[in-house]
A = this chain, B = another copy of it.
């Protein structure tokens, strides 16, 4: 396994609409996707393109959302996870597990339509790391 592209930075927000306005107005973001729901993951998301990676804005889909707890601790929002690409998600899970890391759940389809998993932050210096099989458009 080699460290792949940083596909996106996940940022939790109580309001995707407010965050879009912030990134557009203050930072000059212009390539802003259309927000969409991922009910199976309990989130509504929106991708903003930077020239070399993306910001993923994440808003709870409902009260049972996995990011509801994060927003209770950080009501204004904040950095939630880092997503690095891997060539083969199952190989990555096997390698991490063999090294004693805790992979949270089984690979499932993420916001970009390819399989993802999360690695427990206690194994990654307090950082929640998502691993995503590289989308085809990146080769």
Residues of A bordering B, CB below 8 Å: 1-6, 9, 11-13, 18-19, 22-23, 25-30, 48-53, 74, 76-79, 82, 84, 96, 99, 101, 119, 121-127, 129
Contacts and interface: CB of A to CB of B under 8 A. Distances in A.
A2 B30 contact: yes
A85 B28 CA distance: 12
B11 A9 contact: no
B125 A18 contact: yes
Contacts of A27: 1, 3, 84, 129
A76 to B, nearest CB: 4
A125 B76 contact: yes
A84 B48 CA distance: 13
B3 A23 contact: yes
Contact of A125 (B4, B77, B126): B77
Contacts of A19: 125
Given A5-B51, A6-B52, A27-B129, 9 more contacts: A3-B23, A3-B51, A6-B9, A13-B126, A22-B123, A26-B96, A77-B126, A78-B125, A79-B127
Contact of A26 (B11, B22, B123, B126): B123
B125 A11 contact: yes
Contacts of A28: 1-3
